[in-house]
Amino acid sequence: MSKDIKKENAEAVVEALSKTEKFFNQYGKLIAGVAAGVVVVAIAVFCYVKFAYQPAVAEAQGQMALAEQNFRAADYEVALNGDGNVLGFNQIIDEYGAKAGKAVYFYAGVCELQLGNFDAAIKALESYKGKDAILAARATACIGDAYVGLENYAKALGYFEKAAATADNMFAAGYLLKAGMVAEKLGQNEKALGFYETIKDQYPQSMEAYEIGKYIARVENK
């Protein structure tokens, strides 16, 4: 490399450094202010998470544990609405929302379903956004149950089909059986037969498969 080229490169570096220094001299206070603001925000977020959010999550989960006990005892009214001493799922949703965990909406929906509050059940179950495939399928099937309660069989069928497609496991047989019975109710016998035969062929070890022959025979004799 010639001396002239080296000199040109050195001058370019000096010029660049000069521009940088000029920039910082001109905007240094602004940049420092922005940086300080970022630090303040970060500290505020940290304090919120540590001293507000995390304690609220712990409190919400404690309330959930008590409500779940009533749910497991099949005391759906108390599990849903509380008894004055412990909160129910509805109050937990109102006070803590998602801090209680996504399953709170599933529990609330099932309670509403068991109590015959079908519209409220659908609303709660549709709010469940959990990623667990099995629980998501269960929530979908419960929406189908609620539509059966409302005698909207066409919608119910769609949810049972969706639940069966979501959960490729032994639970799917139960959803297919419900889909078949609703299809029969709608007069869609060929479709019902398809659901029953799927249970027979793909889920032969399921409880539903043990008596699926009588469902198949019933449809074939119509």
CATH code (residue 164): 1.25.40.10
The token duo for 85 is 């001493």
Q: What does the pLDDT read at residue 14?
A: 40
Residue 167 located in a structural domain? yes
Q: What does the pLDDT read at residue 85?
A: 86
Stretches where the chain sits below pLDDT 50 are: 1-17, 19-20, 23-24, 30-56
C-alpha 156/C-alpha 133 separation (Å) is 19
Residue 24 located in a structural domain? no
Q: What does the pLDDT read at residue 44?
A: 34
Residue 29 located in a structural domain? no
Residue 155 located in a structural domain? yes
Q: What does the pLDDT read at residue 184?
A: 93
Cα 80 to the center of its chain, rounded Å:
19
Residue 57 located in a structural domain? no
Question: Number of folded domains in the chain?
Answer: 1
C-alpha 100/C-alpha 87 separation (Å) is 12
Q: What does the pLDDT read at residue 26?
A: 53
Helix (H, G, I), strand (E, B) or coil at 110: helix
At CB < 8 A and 24+ separation, what contacts does 198-202 make? Answer: 199/173
Q: What does the pLDDT read at residue 157?
A: 96
Compute how many other C-beta atoms are within 10 angstroms of the C-beta atom of residue 132. 13
Residue 197 located in a structural domain? yes
Could you tell me the residue range of the domain that residue 222 belongs to? 131-222
Q: What does the pLDDT read at residue 25?
A: 52
Q: What does the pLDDT read at residue 98?
A: 72
* Residues 6 or more apart whose Cβ sits within 8 Å of residue 164: 137, 172, 175, 176, 179, 195
Residue 104 located in a structural domain? no
0.75 exceeded by pTM:
no
Residue 217 located in a structural domain? yes
